[in-house]
Amino acid sequence: MTGAPNNAADEAAAGLDLRRGLVPRSIFADPSVYDLEQQQIFRRCWLFLGHEGQIPNTGDYLTTRMADTNIIVCRDVDGHVRALVNSCRHRGNAVCRTDGGNSRTFTCPYHGWAYDLQGKRVESGGLINVPGMKPYYNDKLDLNEWGLVPVAKVESYRGLIFGTFDPEAPTLEEFLGEMRWAIDMILDRGDLRPTPGVVRWRSDANWKFAADNGGDNAHVQITHRSAFLAFSKLNGAPVPKVGTANPGFTILTKYGHMGNFQTGLGNHKPDLSKGFQFASNTGMEYWRNRPETIAKLGPLKTSVMRYNINIFPNLFIIDRLFIVRHPVAPSEMEQRFTALYDASTPEHVQAEELRTTYRRLGPTGFLEQEDGENFIESTRGTSYSTVMDRDLNYAMGIDEQEIVDDGQSPPRITTMLNEHGQLWFYRNWAAAVSGRPWPLPHPEAKVEAVR
Ligand code: FES
Ligand SMILES: [Fe+2]
């Protein structure tokens, strides 16, 4: 995707030359860029918080992050989902130390200030008790003024909870925009529910390398070759060859969301009687046996076998995993994932789906370890002052794209082996860090121009 004129100034200001596919090394490990991103991207965009099924009842809560900020997500007494900054108003301590549970109050372990889910006096997160109110404060502390700080807006899309610190942000539905097409495709394939528990891990990598990998289909045959070789021995799956262009397409939508979608089942029909699956697995493919699901999806969505999606800025969706890459330092990210499974399948299918999930991704996943090593080394390499003036190359397929706009999906680029997704991500990154108020500039893409 070449740079569009209306975004050229933002790109130039950030040191990008996307018309030529060039991204400077300086935007990765630099602490000042990290600060800018925290302010202009992670304080403004909608960020994924979890799934409503994780907190179905009053008092249910989970803890997570919004970039550098610890967050409590809870269901209040009225059934609403709330998100509160997990930092006591007295000295800033974390008032909740667990990954999740059920509670009517959050009591700070430092001096005991207690906060309600939805206090009588104030809204959710209100301060309801201070030990020593009379002897220490002479009853002069106004509890209404010292509640936990709420996240400005919290909304759900089909059970997926997002929050934003920016009261001026557009609605979640507007923000997700046409990429809802892909989210709907995933959710329409079964009765998807979250698995219990939390998976999180840290690595010394800049979050953008993980995000831009969401558009990267050229690394698979190299980075993951050893895994494919192992799988081939176990279940007969073919080993992808370098230069093989898998059938598929790429979709880029407003605010920087990108997705690529591989179609068809190739020549390999997975043997579902074998427990060890990779390219396709029992749980993920179960919906293919349901005529009503196929009818609902329609031919294009039915043909999609595999997909990688990045909801700007940092929500990566692969299979039924929703992985958030939280930047917690210039060269460090904390990843957390929410795994969904199809509750309408038999139990042994659910078990297989979970096994396949954890085998591939997360801290126990071989794909994750292979990708993670790349993200870490790329981050290290972009910290070398000796080569800081040598840009990174994102020019694959830059001047080649055929676009189909047939109403079956948002306009789609007819290949998935290109770097349009990454360029789209960085174009929108440049627009976001420019610091303009909403609506953030969403640079015209060729895919939008064809309408
Ligand atoms: S820091 Fe929370 S009560 Fe003092
Ligand atoms: Fe990978």
- CATH code (residue 225): 3.90.380.10
CB 91 near ligand 1, within 6 Å: yes
pLDDT band at 444 (very low <50, low <70, confident <90, very high): low
Within-domain flag for 319 = yes
CB 90 near ligand 1, within 6 Å: yes
271-296: average pLDDT: 71
Same domain, 120 and 207: no
116 C-alpha to center of ligand 1: Å? 15
Residues with CB under 5 A from ligand 2 (ion): 371
Query: Residue 274 pLDDT more than 60?
Result: no
Same domain, 13 and 62: no
CA neighbor of 162 nearest in space, from 183, 146, 143: 183
pLDDT band at 279 (very low <50, low <70, confident <90, very high): very low
Gap between the Cα atoms of 167 and 437, Å rounded: 11
Same domain, 411 and 267: yes
185 C-alpha to center of ligand 2: Å? 22
Tokens of 225: 């070759």
172 C-alpha to center of ligand 2: Å? 29
Q: Residue with the nearest Cα to atom 1 of ligand 1?
A: 91
Query: Residue 45 pLDDT more than 80?
Result: yes
In the chain, % of residues over pLDDT 90: 65
CB 433 within 8 A of CB 15: no
Tokens of 250: 């790429």
From the CB of residue 145, how many other CB atoms can be counted at a distance below 10 Å? 10
Determine the pLDDT at residue 267. Answer: 45
Same domain, 110 and 182: no
Same domain, 107 and 202: no
Q: Residue with the nearest Cα to atom 3 of ligand 1?
A: 111
Same domain, 311 and 357: yes
Query: Residue 269 pLDDT more than 60?
Result: no
Looking at 87, 122, 156, which one is the last position of a domain? 156
Looking at 97, 121, 156, which one is the last position of a domain? 156
Q: How many domains does the chain have?
A: 2
- Name the residue of 89, 105, 107, 113 whose CB sits within 8 Å of the most ligand 1 atoms, as the mutation to test its pocket: 113
Same domain, 113 and 205: no
| Atom in ligand 1 nearest the alpha carbon of residue 95 | 2
Determine the pLDDT at residue 11. Answer: 86
404 C-alpha to center of ligand 2: Å? 27
CB 107 near ligand 1, within 6 Å: no
Q: What is the pTM of this model?
A: 0.93
Within-domain flag for 406 = yes
Gap between the Cα atoms of 163 and 153, Å rounded: 6
Within-domain flag for 164 = no
Mean pLDDT, the chain, whole residue set: 88
CA neighbor of 211 nearest in space, from 39, 27, 352: 27
CB 93 near ligand 1, within 6 Å: yes
188-195: average pLDDT: 95
| Atom in ligand 1 nearest the alpha carbon of residue 88 | 2
Same domain, 111 and 22: no
Within-domain flag for 37 = no
Q: Residue with the nearest Cα to atom 4 of ligand 1?
A: 111
| Atom in ligand 1 nearest the alpha carbon of residue 89 | 2
Domain containing 264: what range? 5-26+177-449
CB 317 within 8 A of CB 48: no
Residues 6+ away with beta carbon under 8 Å from 9: none
CB 394 near ligand 1, within 6 Å: no
